[in-house]
Amino acid sequence: MGSLAAVLRHPDDLYPLLKLKMASRQAEKQIPSEPHWAFCYSMLHKVSRSFALVIQQLGTDLRNAVCIFYLVLRALDTVEDDTSIPTDVKVPILIAFHRHVYDREWHFSCGTKEYKVLMDQFHHVSTAFLELGKGYQDAIEDITKRMGAGMAKFICKEVESIDDYDEYCYYVAGLVGLGLSKLFYASGTEDLAPDSLSNSMGLFLQKTNIIRDYLEDINEIPKCRMFWPREIWSKYVNKLEDLKYEENSDKAVQCLNDMVTNALMHVEDCLKYMSVLRDHAIFRFCAIPQIMAIGTLALCYNNIEVFRGVVKMRRGLTAKVIDRTNNMTDVYLAFYDFSNILKPKINKNDPNATKTLSRVEAIQKACMDSGVLNKRKSYIIQSGLRYSSTMIVIFFIILAIIFSYLSSTRASK
């Protein structure tokens, strides 16, 4: 009912939602027949449906390399995330993980749900990895080795300073950006991007996730996970978990705004990185998550609900982003629009208001300097609800067809 209400409020979400659904089903039909590749692509759909969708547009060799790169790092992350694994067991696994990808027999039981399946049957990932070209293998091994060492370092170290925060995000996400740039280069379709820009691409996504996932991470059992840097949160509360308590709501929002402001510093680098990509499929692969990140930050900023539950973009808007992101004009327009959503939420009494406003205006200037903002209407910011009679009729016809199909299916059973 929640999804239905959202579509009724935003009827122009319906068509992109239907396209996304059909594309998702088509992607599932394209899963290879070989057992190890079938496992890898099936697992990819389970651990990240949206990611599985955007990589389907990549060329076959690059798509396979990115799929395995993602699953290897997802497995590494599963080891790091499992707070039930003793430190003396976890650290050696993280440090040696880059060697395990060459071992068809290696597996390690940890994690939950689909992540446990991934770890229990990791031999399928190793088998697929060994079929990749050497350039792809070398890039994946190098990034896995560096990431595992960085994760091991922060198992025994808390995120104290903002420098620590940037270093941690570099290990778990900046290196992903560097690795993807290496894979793009190895495919022969892109030049090798500067490490600084690749790092910013990863940091912007990771910091967005850390902000959005505060409540999930702080409530982790048996041990909470704390990635917000003490240098920021200690300005507002005595303990990081205090942010979730209602009596600290004002301070929590100020701390949240501080975190969002920190994340926004990476946007201009991200725009530079995307602006020089040549391959359309690689461009979409990179641009869609970045637009989702700026949209998520616009929703999270000054929003106490970050400490009460889950804050995320509505599914219909996500479908629009996936459907309509095809070139830098789309990217500049989306970043400009989402920054326009965030800008009016800046409270002049917020301790970081001046810094936040400066960063938002810098983003808007970069978008305006592109000279393309007047070429297309916004699908993100709309002047009002537009319920055309045609749209409403089509919507209810589709509902009737779906209801009829479900009814006939139940009757046949």
- Write the DSSP string, 19-43: HHHHHHHHHHHT--SSHHHHHHHHH
Interatomic CA distance for residues 117 and 138, integer angstroms? 26
User: Is the domain 182-367 a CATH 1.10.600.10 member?
Assistant: yes
CA 46 to chain centre: 15
Contact call for residues 39 and 107 (beta carbons, < 8 A): no
Q: For residue 259, which of 351, 379, 344 has the smallest C-alpha distance?
A: 351
**In angstroms, rounded to a whole number, what is the distance separating the alpha carbons of residues 22 and 344?**
37
Residue 174: Cβ within 10 Å count? 28
Cα R_g (the chain), whole angstroms = 22
Contact 182, 230 (CB under 8 A): no
d(CA 252, CA 351): 12
Q: 273-292 burial by CB neighbour count: b if 16+ within 10 A, else e?
A: bbeebebebbbbbbbbbbbb
- DSSP secondary structure of 204-249: HHHHHHHHHTHHHHHT-SSS----S-HHHHTTT-SSGGGGGSGGGH
- Same CATH fold, 182-367 and 28-156? yes
Q: Tokens 């959202």 correspond to what residue?
A: 6
Q: Where are the beta strands (DSSP E) in 277-413?
A: none
CA distance 25 to 369: 39
CA atoms within 13 A on the CB side of 61: 13
Interacting residues of 384 by C-beta distance below 8 A, sequence separation 6+: none
3-state secondary structure of 200: helix
CA 234 remoteness from chain centre? 27
pLDDT of residue 54: 83
pLDDT digits (tens, 9 = 90+) for 58-83: 999 999 999 999 999 999 999 998 98
CA 352 – CA 267 distance, rounded (Å) = 18
Catalytic residues: 168, 212, 225, 285
How far, in Å, CA of 230 to CA of 250, rounded? 18
Calpha distance 236→13 (Å, rounded): 39
User: How big is the chain, counted in residues?
Assistant: 413
Provide the 8-state DSSP code for 171: I
Report the distance separating Cα 51 and Cα 44, nearest Å: 8
Residue with tokens 């409020």: 9
Q: Whose CA is closest to 61, among 183, 180, 179, 175?
A: 183
Please state the pTM of the whole predicted model.
Answer: 0.89
Cα dihedral across residues 36, 39, 45, 46: positive or negative: negative
Taking residue 338's Cβ as centre, other Cβ atoms within 10 Å add up to: 24
**Cα torsion angle, 319, 322, 326, 327, sign:** positive
Residues 6+ apart with CB under 8 A from 145: 97, 98
Q: pLDDT of the chain along its 413 residues, tens only?
A: 456 566 567 777 777 778 777 777 776 677 788 999 999 999 998 888 777 778 888 999 999 999 999 999 999 999 998 989 999 999 999 999 999 999 999 999 999 999 999 999 999 999 999 999 999 999 999 999 999 999 999 998 899 999 999 999 999 999 999 999 999 999 999 999 999 999 999 999 999 999 999 999 998 877 787 899 999 999 999 999 999 999 999 999 999 999 999 999 999 999 999 999 999 999 999 999 999 999 999 999 999 999 999 899 988 899 999 999 999 999 999 999 999 999 999 999 999 999 999 999 999 999 999 999 887 777 786 644 444 555 555 666 666 666 666 566 555 55
If one looks up domain 28-156 in CATH, what number appears?
Answer: 1.10.600.10
Domain ranges for the chain, please list them. Answer: 28-156, 182-367
